[in-house]
Amino acid sequence: MKRTHSLPQEDSFKVFAGKQNRASVTILVVDPGEARFLDDLKGLLGQCSLVHHREHQAAWKLFLTNSVDLVLLDHTSRYPCFQLLSQCKMSKPSIPVIVMTNQGSETIAVKAFRLGARDYFTKPLQLDKLQLALGNILGACQAAESSSSALSVDSLELAFQHIHSHFKSPLSLGQVAETAGMSVSSLVRGFKKKTTLTFVDYINCLRLSHACKLIKESKLSLLEIALTSGFNNQSHFNRVFKKIYGLTPGEYRRATTGKK
């Protein structure tokens, strides 16, 4: 049986405002080095649980199977971050990722931001600035969560509501646009601006998230899970799952449950 990855137990910390229902805000730090800055950062962020992984694949599995609020992702020439950054943003687009590197360049920064990084820092880190960025990002995420129910329902919001209610069924841009009272071109622009993902990628993320829950918690076959989650067939499900998670659904089930 393969061992599944679980978050290590940390000291009891105070939490960011709005996170009282969680034991702690969890920041996943992916850095192949010693990450000596972590002790100092933990001193500044006593309200957070910092979890450090040196190996990308282990960090990726942990990110998939646990609750993480933010990712600090290191970039080096030997261990480039771009594939893991892309996987994180495709699978859980709402989780902010900050890139750190001692090879700072405009090219690296541009690529990181295009792939969805929320911020970018060069080493040696200026911890006071990193602390401020972390607080601002997590605070903004919490504010968005707490105020989402109070937002006025505009056309784009109607589109998202329809997608979240019907992602297990066949969906098309035209159908969603008509439901929301928008043109297709307006929906495409608004969708890309709000999520940084395409319409198809966003729906696939919803379907895969639902499928992952069923894989871990149900006894359904992978075919049943594929169809229940909104995929037309198991072949397409397997292909999309492997593209996003780097594992087949069967490999994911074995990694998270130890079952075939």
Report which secondary-structure segment, H or E, holds 198. none
Domain at 155-257, CATH homologous superfamily:
Homeodomain-like (1.10.10.60)
What does the pLDDT read at residue 46? 67
What does the pLDDT read at residue 152? 39
What does the pLDDT read at residue 234? 93
Q: Is the pLDDT of residue 79 over 60?
A: yes
Instruction: Answer yes or no: CATH 1.25.40.10 is held by domain 25-147.
Output: no
| Residues 6+ positions from 202 with CB-CB distance below 8 Å | 93, 163, 191, 195
Average pLDDT, the chain: 79
Distance CA 71, CA 27 (A): 6
What does the pLDDT read at residue 47? 67
Residues of the chain with CATH 1.10.10.60: 155-257
160 closest CA partner among 103, 203, 124, 222: 203
Residues of the chain with CATH 3.40.50.2300: 25-147
62 closest CA partner among 3, 136, 133: 3
Global pTM?
0.53
State pLDDT tens for residues 121-137.
Answer: 888 888 888 877 777 77
